[in-house]
Amino acid sequence: MQQSLPTRAPGAITDVAGIEVGHYSDTRRPTGCTVVIARGGAVAGVDVRGAAPGTRETDLLEPGNLVQQVHAVMLSGGSAWGLDAASGAMRWLDEQGIGLDMGTARVPIVPAAVLFDLHVGDARIRPSLEAGYAACAAASRRPPAEGNIGAGSGAVVGKAFGMGFAMKGGIGSASVSVDGVTVGAIIACNAVGDVVDPATGAPLAGALSADRKSLRNTQQALLRGDAPHPLLAGSNTTIGVIATDAALTKVQAQRLATVGHDGLARAIRPVHTMSDGDTLFALATARAARHPGMLVLAAMAAEAVQQATVHAVLAARGIALDGGVQLPACSDGI
């Protein structure tokens, strides 16, 4: 019997004042990109926990480095090829007159992170500059679509025992508000591990049993000695953005990104592996009139990331790959 699924909590990252989100999905195969835009600029931080990341412009987010604000963050499929999507965001932002004023020009600051989805469909098709531009053109303050869209288009979870026993991942969003301050998150989940219900620890989507009729529970399987399938480093990865309307320093933004990984650890098992490039960005738009303190913001960030990760698989839909491989989803009732 299938376990009862958790109820989707309300809210999205666009509940944070000053944040817009846009998706682009390539109809030729499951891949795409998702942009989080802060037109007015946002203080930003980043924390990379996976051992096989694909990123761009993360060094400038170090608290001791010069640039104080970013204008967008790009999340993309396509592995390292997908980093090109950030150039499309730069082009679009430049056309809107948004960027760091350098006197002779404005330079949009767009950090990025990618996930590996090249084993889903034709690997020669990956997000490009044009894809990043299109994601920006589609951006709005509306709650973003979830599941098989944008950076979650080609996401797959539960690959520890091979793609033949994996399930469809996706992208999800959530938000938490406390006393007039909001923290939201958007997460593209392409983890090697399972996504679990944080309340019970039961897998929601992940590695299937040998007969593909139930979930294997990757964490328990590994601990009892089941041998994992050989994994190519970097062939997975969960990436995302945390945003708040509180005012933060760069040090505080970096800390918010760090504690956001607590949410990944509650919802993904195992997480931060040698084959994942798990990366979280944090943005602070400073639109709220107050600051509840970092302890409260940290709790909110972990909760928003946890919820968004679960939403990513609750919203996913199963797909069929060339060669007859089926990737079922949580919604299929497994």
**Rounded mean pLDDT, 163-190:** 97
CA-nearest of 269, 167, 162, 170 to 214 is 167
**Residue 51 in this model has a pLDDT that exceeds 90:** no
Whether the predicted pLDDT of 163 surpasses 60: yes
Residue 3 has pLDDT above 80, yes or no: no
Which burial class, exposed, middle or buried, applies to 123 when counting CB atoms under 10 A from its CB (0-12, 13-18, 19+)?
middle
- Rounded to whole angstroms, the Cα distance separating 13 from 203 reads 25
Distance between CA atoms of 167 and 31, rounded to whole angstroms? 16
**Residue 221: predicted pLDDT:** 95
**Residue 152 confidence (pLDDT) above 50:** yes
pLDDT digits (tens, 9 = 90+) for 76-115: 999 999 999 999 999 999 999 999 999 999 999 999 999 9
Distance CA 91, CA 108 (A): 8
**Mean pLDDT score of the chain, rounded to an integer?**
95
Q: What is the pLDDT of residues 267-317, one digit of tens each?
A: 999 999 999 999 999 999 999 989 999 999 999 999 999 999 999 999 999
pLDDT of residue 229: 87
Predicted local confidence at residue 306, as pLDDT: 98
What is the average per-residue pLDDT within 209-237?
A: 89
What share of the chain has pLDDT > 90, as a percent? 89
Residue 199: DSSP 8-state = T
pLDDT band at 234 (very low <50, low <70, confident <90, very high): low
pLDDT at 231: 74
> Is residue 125 within 8 Å of 249, Cβ to Cβ?
no
List for the chain the helix, strand, coil content (%; round to 5): 25, 30, 45
pTM for this predicted structure: 0.96
Average pLDDT score over residue span 4-13: 87
Domains of the chain, with CATH numbers?
A: 13-332 (3.60.70.12)
* pLDDT category of residue 334 using cuts at 50, 70 and 90: confident
Give the pLDDT confidence of 111-150 residue by residue, as tens digits: 999 999 999 999 999 999 999 999 999 999 999 999 999 9
Model pLDDT, residue 2: 53
Helix (H, G, I), strand (E, B) or coil at 222: helix
What's the confidence (pLDDT) of residue 321?
Answer: 83
End-to-end CA distance of the chain: 9
- Per-residue model confidence (pLDDT) at position 1: 39
Neighbours of 168 (CB within 10 A): 28
Percent of the chain with pLDDT over 70: 98
- Which CA distances in Å does 110 have to 31, 61, 79, 90, 221? 20, 11, 17, 7, 40
pLDDT at 52: 87
pLDDT band per the 50, 70, 90 thresholds, residue 203 = very high
